[in-house]
A and B are shown apart, each in its own frame.
Chain A
Amino acid sequence: MTRALARMAAWRLAFTVPLLLAVTLGMFALAKASPFDPVRQYLGDRAVITSPEVMAQIRENWGLDRPVAEQYLTWLGNLVQGDLGDSRSMHRPVIEVIGERLGWTLLAVSCALVLMLVASLAVGALAAWRRDSWLDRLITGTAYANEAAPVFWVALLVIWLFAVRLQWLPPGGLTDPAATTLQPGDVLQHMILPVAVLAFSQSSWLLLFVRESLIATLREDFVLGARARGLRERTVVVRHALRSALLPFITLLGARIPELVTGAILVETVFSWPGVASASVQAALAADFPLLAALTLLATLAVVAGNLLADTAYVIADPRVRVLGVS
């Protein structure tokens, strides 16, 4: 099993390098072809009162007038040496920008992921167990509606309800502005809305999938057998059916990473959460190539890692694959 796993991981890693190269090349070409002017974005509001001569000088200093291939190779060379360059829109080394923000995104996304898993499993199992009851209808109906609703709209409604109307939770940001140090409780409170919205927006398909899969499993022989042996209903659902229904669910999870990133982009933007996902929108709008390229690489790595994890989990979880090896 370990050998099979190792072989799969090695195969994936070997594939990652050309993939990353292709992605960077594609992004570079797009950035070059795009009408966004990095110099104008760098100057911000002042662009309209800066003389064209000054702008031309900055362009020259940045090497933007050299051939595209040369710019790409220069950048790639630095990248290989571990130098990600300076973010133009934020005026700081890219590595610093990412270092500062990545943790916040990981925090929010991982919490959302856990919340989504737990909630979908629990609620999905509940719906399957109480199939066709009003509760099931309520749950599936909400899930379908949620699936159809744009996450930024849901986020706005949530802000409206919890921050404006009820004033229970802060509408955005990372900490209470008056706080000069990071207090876990403070961050936690600011995290509730974005994490909940992110988890909620991603949970529908999972919940419905768990429900369907569980309903199918509940009718399989081994479950019927367990029931026949007189085991408690809860034990049947949780220990037998859910466990076996979990398997395809794990593999699907890895494939959802891009959607999770997309969700994070919108949620971070609406809640002004200072993570990398919202920074990627700013970077794209500013044609801030060094930052954008680094973030794209990061997203690509996350997707590859997600797939690898999903497959690993699949191998470990499925006794058939474990015994017979990876197909």
Chain B
Amino acid sequence: MAATFPTARRTAPGRSRRPSRWIAAGLLVALALAVLLVPAVVQLDQQLVDLRAANQAPSLAHPFGTDEVGRDVLLRVVYGLRVSLLIGLVAALVSVTVGTVAGLAAGTLGGTADRVIMRVVDGFNSVPHLLFGIFIVALFSPSATAVVVSVGLTHWTTAARIVRSEVLTLRARPFVDAAVSGGSGRLRIVRRHFLPHLLPHIALASVLMVPHAIWHETALSFLGLGLPPHLASLGNMINDGARSLLAGNWWASLFPGLFILVPTLAISVLVQYWRDRANPRWRSELQL
């Protein structure tokens, strides 16, 4: 699944063999521009269908074809990516925030608090995320907020673990000892010493969480539990497209899938590069 990319124990940091990062960056910029600019130029009426223009194969007028009720797949894919990215960003922010607070508390307070928090983390991790997500979405009835809450509540544990283990490493560092003997309180140490060191890790965890959140939105929509199905979202479009796959309409499900795959892949390539540069000795926590 999307979030957990293998650690890169980059063996030859000096020799980056990834010209693909330029392609990735280019694709991401192009997609970002499309997502930002297209809605300013072409308005999508989410409810407008044209039954007389349904199921058209890709052509000049409709480069990605039209779907089973005559909507332009290209325009909807762009809008869908926008919705998915937005949900992904917010959900990543929620989960990383919750995770950072929990991880900081566990790492800083230690003792019973640490044990309790880590057991809660274990508890959350022992229920399959998707099932848990379905439950939470059911609680709020399908909507963007529900998806955000569902991803946020199930995925904070990753960030919590990373932050906690980083804090534990930091605690052993001399400057922390110095600060403690200098009379600094816990909050001050957290604010002045831990957070600045943790920021790159937190940022990386957030970026990695975005594709995962998008994945969750699409999976929930695919099961009929995501955004309202008439709205343009990538999961809804794959779900719709799956129905007309057999009639030969491959374009209605292929393109929305590509629009999940391409940005996810691009983000992972860039993260990989960043990780190589910023932290050659990146550890394996991200995978847990």
Direct contact of A and B (CB under 8 A): yes
* Interface, chain A (partner B; CB < 8 A): 15, 19, 22-23, 26-27, 30-31, 33-36, 132, 144-145, 147-153, 156-157, 159-160, 164, 201, 205, 208-209, 212-213, 215-216, 219, 248, 252, 255, 258-259, 261-263, 265-266, 269, 280-281, 284-285, 287, 295-296, 299-300, 303-304
CB of B260 within 8 A of CB of A216, answer: no
Residues of B within 8 A of A248 (CB): 284
CA distance A300 to B132 in the complex (A): 12
In the complex, whether B9 has a CB less than 8 A from a CB of chain A is: yes
Find chain B residues with CB under 8 A from A15 CB. 119, 122
CB <8 Å contact, A285 and B122:
no
A and B contact pairs by CB, cutoff 8 A, 9 listed: A34-B135, A34-B138, A144-B269, A150-B215, A252-B284, A252-B287, A266-B130, A287-B138, A296-B131
Q: Which 5 pairs across A and B sit closest by C-beta, in order of nearness?
A: A148-B264, A208-B6, A153-B257, A261-B128, A303-B126
Interface of B is mostly: helix
CB pair A265–B4 under 8 Å, yes or no, is no
A253 to chain B, nearest CB (A): 11
Interface window among B90-98, B192-200, B245-253:
B245-253
B236 adjacent to chain A (CB < 8 Å): no
Given A15-B119, A153-B238, A263-B1, verify A144-B128 contact (CB < 8 Å): no
Task: Encode contact with A along B1-33: 1 for CB under 8 Å, 0 otherwise.
Answer: 110111111010000010000000000000000
Contact of B1 among A216, A262, A303 (CB under 8 A): A262
Residue contact B238 to A152, C-beta cutoff 8 Å? yes
Residue positions of B touching A, CB distance < 8 A: 1-2, 4-9, 11, 17, 119, 122-123, 125-131, 134-136, 138-139, 141, 211, 215, 218-219, 222-223, 225, 238, 242, 245-246, 250, 253-254, 257, 260-262, 264-265, 268-269, 284, 287-288
Beyond A23-B127, A145-B265, A148-B264: 5 further Cβ-contacts under 8 Å?
A22-B123, A150-B238, A150-B260, A152-B238, A300-B126
Q: Which one of B122, B135, B136, B254 has the greatest number of beta carbons of chain A within 10 Å?
A: B135
Closest partner residue, chain B, to A149 (CB atom): B261
- Which residues of the partner chain B approach A265 to less than 8 Å between Cβ atoms? 128, 130-131
Q: Which residues does chain B contribute within 8 Å of A304, judged by CB atoms? A: 126
Q: Tell me whether B261 and A299 are in contact (CB under 8 A).
A: no
Which B residue's beta carbon lies closest to that of A143?
B6
> If A153-B238, A284-B138, A303-B126 touch, does A148 touch B7 (CB 8 Å cutoff)?
no
Known: A34-B138, A148-B2, A205-B5. A299 touches B123 (CB 8 A): no
The complex places the Cα of A263 from the Cα of B129 at a distance, in Å, of 10
B141 and A156 form a contact (CB under 8 A) = no
Which residues of chain B come closer than 8 Å to A153, judged between CB atoms? 218, 238, 253, 257, 260-261
**Min CB gap A75→B, angstroms:** 17
Residue of B nearest to A264 (CB): B128
- CA of A111 to CA of B234 in the docked complex: distance in angstroms? 31
State A19–B120 Cα separation when bound (angstroms).
9
Chain B, Cβ-Cβ closest to A16 = B126
**Pair B126/A148 contact, Cβ less than 8 Å:** no
- Which residues of chain B are within 8 angstroms of A148 by Cβ–Cβ distance? 2, 211, 260-262, 264-265, 268
Chain A residues with Cβ below 8 Å from B119 are 15, 19
In contact, B125 and A303 (Cβ under 8 angstroms): yes
Contact status A205-B4, CB under 8 Å: yes
A234–B17 Cα distance when bound, in Å, is 25
Pairwise interchain contact A152-B7, C-beta atoms closer than 8 A? no
Residues of B within 8 A of A284 (CB): 131, 134-135, 138
Interfacial chain A residues near B287, Cβ < 8 Å: 205, 209, 252, 255
Bound Cα distance from A287 to B17, whole angstroms: 51
> Which one of B1, B127, B136 has the greatest number of beta carbons of chain A within 10 Å?
B1
Docked-complex contact B5 and A262, CB < 8 angstroms: no
Tell me the bound Cα distance from A284 to B288 in angstroms.
Answer: 26
Q: CA of A300 to CA of B125 in the docked complex: distance in angstroms?
A: 9
A155 to chain B: closest residue by CB: B242
Q: CA A272 – CA B222 in complex, angstroms?
A: 15
Q: Report B-chain residues with C-beta under 8 Å of the C-beta of A205.
A: 4-6, 287
Complex interface: chain B residues within 8 A of A33 (CB): 139
A269 and B123 in contact (CB under 8 A), knowing A216-B11, A296-B131?
A: no
Q: When the two chains form the complex, which single residue of B4, B128, B264 contacts A262, counting CB atoms closer than 8 Å?
A: B128
Q: Report yes or no: B136 in contact with A30, Cβ–Cβ below 8 A.
A: yes
Task: With both chains docked as a complex, state the minimum distance between the C-beta of B267 and any C-beta of chain A, in angstroms.
Answer: 8
> Chain A: which residue is nearest B136 at the CB level?
A30
Complex-state Cα separation, A295 to B132, whole angstroms: 12
Known contacts A262-B128, A262-B130: A149-B138 contact under CB 8 Å: no
Which residues of chain B have C-beta atoms less than 8 A from A30's C-beta?
135-136, 139
Q: Are B17 and A132 in contact (CB under 8 A)?
A: yes
- Taking a contact as CB atoms under 8 Å apart, the answer to whether A213 and B9 are in contact is yes
Complex Cα–Cα for A34 and B246 (A): 36
A23 with B126, Cβ < 8 A, contacts A34-B138, A148-B268, A160-B245 known: yes
Given contacts A145-B265, A148-B264, A287-B138, contact A299 B126 (CB under 8 A): yes
Residue from B126, B260, B265 in contact with A258 in the complex, judged by beta carbons closer than 8 Å: B126
B129 is contacted by which of A145, A152, A213, A262 (Cβ under 8 Å)? A262
A209 touches B126 (CB 8 A): no
A149-B130 in contact (CB<8A) = no
Contact B135 A219 (CB under 8 A): no
A134 to chain B, nearest CB (A): 12
A148 to B257, CA, bound (A): 10
In the complex, A300 Cα to B134 Cα: how many Å?
16
